[in-house]
A and B are shown apart, each in its own frame.
Chain A
Amino acid sequence: MNVAIIKYNAGNIYSVYYALKRLGVDPTITANKKLLQKADKIIFPGQGEATMTMHYLKMHNLDELIKKLNQPFLGICIGMQLMCRFSEEGNVNCLNIFNIPVLKFQQKKHEDKIPHIGWNTITNLKGDLYKNIKEKAFVYFVHSYYIPISEHTIATTQYINNFSSSLQIKNFYATQFHPEKSGEIGEKILNNFLSL
């Protein structure tokens, strides 16, 4: 299987690369448009800041390319946030694959620490990405901005408020958590994506 990881100015790209290697896949890390278009599966990973990463995607014309892809596509963390309409992080317009805004967590009580760092549960799991994943499975999160619940939500997590820990529309899938860092559960989710 030909899996491409989109190379751009976000951190943690190699974590995804290694996770796929452990699953027996030999992914290509690339920003080459032809390679991306002919890949069987595409992963859009990363940690980073919305304005900087969005600027980079535009400069390299990756924004238009991504929106037109037809193969199974998985955005992770900042990748997921960039797939939304708009982000409060730097008030930047994003790819608008999901017509939902990305909002900053608002602390309600002292214990509500931001960023949301650590292992939390996913519930209301829907679709093939969560095949054989139990409700309330623990996955690893690191983020300060969140995506509200919408019609595209396929997993929900509670932290300060309920938010979308996963989204899907057509071939576009996304997770706020890091499956590549979520132990055996994360490996199952990545395997489910590879089987789509």
Chain B
Amino acid sequence: MLAKRIIPCLDIKDNKIVKGVNFINFRDAGDAVELGIQYCKEGADELVYLDITASYEKRKTFTDLVTQIAANINIPFTVGGGIYELKDVDRLLNAGADKISINSAALRSPYLIEEIAKNFGNQVCVVAIDAKLETNKKWLCYLNGGRIPTNQPLFKWAIEAENRGAGEILFTSITHDGAQNGYANEALSILAKSLHIPIIASGGAGTPEHFKDVFVSGQSDAALAASVFHFRKINIKNLKKFLWKEGISIRNK
């Protein structure tokens, strides 16, 4: 039976892991590889590395980091950030990434999804969507890491992304992100009913129960989290034991 996936996400800025992981002494990009290896050992099913470096010059160092990750990690990993055109995808896949994720670039130039799918296959193309539940109860998409609002409705855009050739949707609820009160299960279950491709849920994980909820009521295929893993609030091995006991289909090593 296909297992639900647990995915730690590592944000890399100027070649350092961000989101407060400094307190466990992971400071530079070399340590981004070390932390990845550690998560693999704990039973992570996949890893996501997001390059949130703003400057173009630093992109080369992220590519070098991707090579290091590929050389050291024996599970699939996705990379995102700074992908605007096909040659960025080519560069990262050649460095050893299994999948790439595009976010703002896809919203601005939706045909990029088709181009990636056509050239590298649908399975390579993860479309990441950041959306917020507005006061009028509508979910709208945001650009640039949640900084710039758009008029694009979440569900409409997710369906369009699938139709254009996305292999998976990585949905982050800006409303839930950081609050550690659980995932956006209602929106996620609507997505699950609307789409025919796997959905990775992101934003809101705080307890093991939240993971169970996102798989059961959110009907997600995978759950992504950062802080709860980096701060050692949740250990992946223990999390998987809990989910297994709760009857969730989980990979045991």
Contact = CB atoms under 8 A, between A and B. Distances in A.
Interface of A: 11-12, 14-15, 18-19, 21-22, 47-49, 107, 110, 113-121, 138, 140, 142-144, 158-159, 178, 180-187
B25 interface: no
6 contacts: A11-B121, A22-B71, A117-B221, A142-B123, A178-B76, A183-B40
A118 B120 contact: no
Instruction: Please name the 4 residue pairs, one residue from A and one from B, whose CB atoms are nearest each other, closest first.
Output: A138-B251, A119-B251, A119-B3, A142-B123
Interface string B1-15: 111010000000000
A107 B195 CA distance: 13
A14 B70 contact: yes
B75 A18 contact: no
Contact of A18 (B3, B71, B168, B197): B71
Given A140-B76, A181-B75, A47 B197 contact: no
Interface residues of B, number: 33
Interface of A is mostly: mixed
A184 B2 contact: no
A10 B40 CA distance: 26
Nearest to B196: A113
B108 interface: no
B1 A184 contact: no
B93 interface: yes
B211 to A, nearest CB: 16
B80 to A, nearest CB: 17
A112 to B, nearest CB: 8
Contact of A14 (B3, B94, B120, B168): B94
